[in-house]
Amino acid sequence: MKKSLAEIAQYLGGTVSGDPGTQIGGLATLDDAGEGQLTFLANPKYAAKVATTKASAVLLPAGGNAHGHNAIFHPNPYLAFAKLLTLFYTAPAVPLGVLPGAFVADGVKMGEGVTIYPGACVAPGVTIGDRVTLYPGVVLYPGVTVGNDVTIRANVSVRERCRIGDRVIIHDGTVIGSDGFGYAPDGESWYKIPQIGIVVIEDDVEIGSNTVIDRAALEVTRIGKGTKIDNLVQIGHNCIIGENCMIVSQVGISGSTKVGNHVTMGGQVGVAGHIKIGDNAMVAAKSGVHNSIDAGQIMSGIPAIPHREWLRVSGLVPKLPEFRKTVNSLEKRIAELEKMVAALTGSAPAEGEE
């Protein structure tokens, strides 16, 4: 597929500089692009590479320097490039139906354009919407509901009665609705608390590989619409995750935590249970969150504190050995001065001093 620069600019809502008839047949990086390809600049520190790229056109932020190249100017080149990747390289899936080797129980309700690969298992009472693809090893437990335009990749398990919204993508090995980690002390042993709630995944959520979202003890663990969850994330039972959140790899969120809308958590953040994180908050990688966070705050560190304060604290850490030497030296000087004062006044040293 080829498109002119003018067609691409119209599709993106950008403006053309140079020859609008230039034909583009693919996309590539600034370093690798060649004739007939379009590249992009999203980070200003790589602006010098625009001058040397061999691309036929460059996607630039408004006011960027095209260095004589054909260009499309757009307020968000990174987003625009992502949309072009979808346009050029993402073909609609061709529905294949229920393939030999897949198990679909009697009475399962299925929409149109469904593909179920060999090795997938769909239990009784499941409802599947239109244009759903289930890859090998997917298991939908009894009573699961799956919306329209959903892709569930290999070896994903969706446990009893959980609900998946529209346009959801779940990557390989993830488990939706595993039992929450709930046990009551019984002397020296632990009594398992039945986890009878469900998980609800709202529309336009994407969940990475080998992530686990626990079912609620009684009601609902909910992932809000538009939220993106990376690989290897653990979300505990009864958590409520808001809309359009970004949760990066190896985050662990303990049970009954409420996360607001558009919250960002960096890799390996640990969150204690039964707290609230406000809208638009950001938590830096490897932080330990033990208390609630107000809306709009940026937090870092273990335990997590406001980011500017953490920067000041962390700046002191490399200087601690020097500070220790200084303190030891001052202690010695103070002790010597106290001895001198005692000798001059005839008073005895304070208790504990020589």
CB atoms within 10 A of CB 110: 18
- Measure CA 32 to chain center: 28
pLDDT for the residue numbered 345: 84
Q: Where are the alpha helices (DSSP H) in the chain?
A: 5-12, 77-89, 307-316, 320-345
Taking the model in full, what pTM does it have?
0.87
- pLDDT of 315 higher than 60: yes
Give the containing element (helix H, strand E) for 162: none
Token digits for 334? 């103070």
Token digits for 50? 């625009």
Phi/psi of residue 302, nearest 5 degrees: -125, 110
Tell whether domain 3-89 is in CATH 3.60.15.10. no
Please write the tens of the pLDDT for every residue from 168-212: 999 999 999 999 999 999 999 999 999 999 999 999 999 999 999
In this structure, the dihedral spanned by the alpha carbons of residues 245, 294, 214 and 204, taken in order and rounded to 10 degrees, is: -20
- pLDDT of 215 higher than 70: yes
Which amino acid, residue 24? I
Sheet of 246-247, strand order: 97-98, 115-116, 133-134, 151-152, 169-170, 206-207, 228-229, 246-247, 264-265, 282-283, 298-300, 305-306
* 8-state DSSP, 267: T
Tell whether domain 97-309 is in CATH 2.160.10.10. yes
Catalytic pick from 69, 171, 237, 262?
A: 237
pLDDT for the residue numbered 106: 96
Token digits for 227? 């939220």
Q: Are 127 and 145 in contact (CB under 8 A)?
A: yes
Token digits for 31? 């370093």
Confidence category of residue 42, pLDDT binned at 50, 70, 90: confident
Which amino acid, residue 142? P
Q: Are 52 and 46 in contact (CB under 8 A)?
A: no
- pLDDT of 307 higher than 60: yes
Alpha-carbon span 275 to 285, nearest angstrom: 19
Please write the tens of the pLDDT for every residue from 77-120: 999 999 999 999 987 788 999 999 999 999 999 999 999 999 99
First-to-final CA distance of the chain: 89
* 8-state DSSP, 93: P
pLDDT more than 90, % of the chain: 88
Is 290 assigned a catalytic role?
Answer: no
